[in-house]
Structure 1
Amino acid sequence: MMGDDVMTILYADDDPEDREIFADVITEINPDIEVFLASDGMEAIQRLHELPAVPDMIFLDVNMPAMSGIECVATLRRLDRFKKATMILYSTTSSELESYKGMKAGADNFLKKANTYTATFDMLKRLVEAAIPCI
């Protein structure tokens, strides 16, 4: 974790509305979580290199211009700093081929984006709570 006990998340998605919804949901789950946003895989890599520590979770949309989420995962996994980072591909597609490619590239999980705010909240809340160590 980047701060003493502040969870950090980076989310890359080329859709500004999806980025806004994701950030809103995470803030509603826990306003102390720091969320960093990027508009594609290239910007995600740049932002990750600028951060003082690896975020607790990295969410990447699959279909982005410049560099897809799958390409971004593969690139990051080749760098020592990100070998153990939690990377989740987060997409509107539920294609088994895309999921297979993503997991083969090194993603820890492949999640289909929910259709509603409530479903998105419930899914991300479970992930965030699972990532926070019990005290």
Structure 2
Amino acid sequence: MIKYMMIVDDNEADHAIAQFAVDEVDADIQLYSAYDGQEALDLLDTMSPPPDLIFLDISMPGMSGHEFLAEYAKRKNLCAVVVMLTSSDQPTDKSRCMQYTFVRDYLLKPLDGAYLNELIKAL
């Protein structure tokens, strides 16, 4: 059962859309927010328990999604499944992200409740 999620995106509207989708599926799921990769890594260091699922954008100021994936892969405790949630439809971005075993899927924004519901059932 998924209880904790994180969204990593520099766009406040995407955080609101994700929160709406989460609330639509299960209002008991807690959604944490980070606005770039470094903030997400810092937040992961303080979270107990860690999130079950991370939605990650690619293009962000500061640490990008690609940089986050590289740093996250170095951790001994890979606690979460990562789903890329981005506006990039570039095949090179997708293949670069999907090389990581902990990346489950690559979605184009916005997050919708139907997809989230199916993902939660699959996990």
TM-score by length of 1: 0.82
Pair 1:100-2:92 in alignment: no
Q: 1:70 maps to which residue?
A: 66
Q: Aligned to 2:4, which of 1, 4, 8?
A: 8
Separation in 1, partners of 2:54, 2:46: 14
Matched, 1:128 2:123: no
1:91 is aligned to: 86
Q: How many residues align?
A: 122
Q: Which has the higher strand share?
A: 2
Q: Distance in 2 between matches of 1:81 and 1:53?
A: 12
Q: Contact (CA 8 Å) 2:86, 2:108: kept in 1 or not?
A: yes
Partner Cα separation in structure 1 for residue 104 and residue 66 of structure 2: 11
Task: Name the residue aligned to 1:44.
Answer: 40
How far has the Cα of 1:81 moved from its partner? 1.5
Q: Pairwise CA RMSD of aligned residues?
A: 1.7
Displacement after TM superposition at 1:6 (Å):
5.7
Q: Percent identity?
A: 27
- Deviation per residue, 1:44-85 (Å, 9 max, x gap): 111111101221101111111111112111111111012x53
Q: Which runs of 5+ in 2 are unaligned?
A: none
Gaps of 5+ in 1: none
Taking structure 2 as the reference length, what is the TM-score of the superposition? 0.89
SS at match of 1:11: strand
